[in-house]
Amino acid sequence: MDEFQTGSESVEGVIGGSAYQHSRVSQWTSSVVEQSLSQLSKLGKPFKYIVTCIIMQKNGAGLQTASSCFWDNSTDGSCTVRWENNSMYCIVSVFGLAI
Amino acid sequence: MSDLAKEKAARLLKKRGSMSSQGSRELRSKETAGKVKDSISTVSYIDEPSHHDDNVRPAVQMENTYQLGPVKRFPVLTVTDILKDVLTTYLQEEKYEVELSRQMTKTISEVVKARVKDLMIPRYKIVVLITIGQLNNQNIHVGSRCLWDMTTDTFSSYTFKNSSLFAVANVFAVYFE
């Protein structure tokens, strides 16, 4: 559960220098998630992955996220990457469940 | 995971692998050239990254059940109703406040997890993700993708909105082979 540099790299790669654009947001969420997932599957571990991405415009609003999981603590885990720039926030959560 | 899924994943990687590495190199060169676009990134782990993965694998000995698929499938509609019920009862009259929402997200996720566990679906692992946000005329996009077995694993989702806040609830159910 400690290779989550892949998560932050895929975020930087997709939306690194961009400002928030409503028309492109859904495209961004999809590509961030797909890139993270492909890099995770490259690791070749016997895990099922769930990757979630939240992109929010910076407008003074607040956001809270919580997750609760019913799994085997010794084999499963998760990791969250928070990324921001001048115009938006991006939160990527990765859950890995052992087969 | 089935062989088909592995082949598909391998094909995708061949197409995408080179693209993503180019992208990150470009970004690094942008930063070194001094044209920093002001982005901050933080990483947080739920548990400390350690090598417990190597130690645990041999210790967990499970007997073979010779079971190919789940006996009882995950009831998506029942879970959607649970989510609707919980979110409406907890958030109908609430206004968005930082501390309250912080507690509320944690409480709601625990409550949803407990109610889904009560359904007693054997051999399914559950992941519940709750997001509560303030409505401030901003836009937000929530997306997720999963690498799992399509025939046995599923998810359920519900969105709730009132005058000052919105809440998104996602429940993922993964079959434990």
d(CA B13, CA B160): 37
Domain that holds residue B157: 76-175
Are the C-beta atoms of residues B158 and B84 closer than 8 Å to each other? Answer: yes
Q: How many domains does chain B have?
A: 2
Most confident of A24-28, A60-64, A71-75, B112-116: B112-116
Q: Which of A42, A56, A63 to mutate to test the interface with B (most CBs of B within 10 A)?
A: A63
CATH number at residue B88: 3.30.1140.40
Per-residue pLDDT averaged across B5-10, rounded?
51
Closest-CA distance of chain A to residue B14, Å: 10
A80 Cβ contact list (under 8 Å, min separation 6): A91, A92, A93, A94, B43, B44, B46
Is A69 close to B136, i.e. CB distance below 8 A?
no
Domains recognised in chain A with CATH numbers: 2-60+67-98 (3.30.1140.40)
pLDDT of residue B35: 44
Does one domain contain both B59 and B81? Answer: no
Report chain B residues whose CB lies below 8 A from the CB of A93: 129
Are the C-beta atoms of residues A39 and A10 closer than 8 Å to each other? Answer: yes
> In this complex, is the C-beta atom of A31 within 8 Å of any C-beta atom belonging to chain B?
no
Does one domain contain both B82 and B33? Answer: no
**Res. B125: pLDDT tops 70:** yes
Does one domain contain both B135 and B170? Answer: yes
- Reported ipTM exceeds the 0.90 cut: no
**Nearest by Cα to A83 from A64, A55, A63, A59:** A55
Does one domain contain both B59 and B126? Answer: no
* B37 domain residue, yes or no: yes
Does one domain contain both B80 and B156? Answer: yes
**Nearest by Cα to B148 from A29, A41, A43:** A41
> In this complex, is the C-beta atom of A23 within 8 Å of any C-beta atom belonging to chain B?
no
Are the C-beta atoms of residues B48 and B128 closer than 8 Å to each other? Answer: no
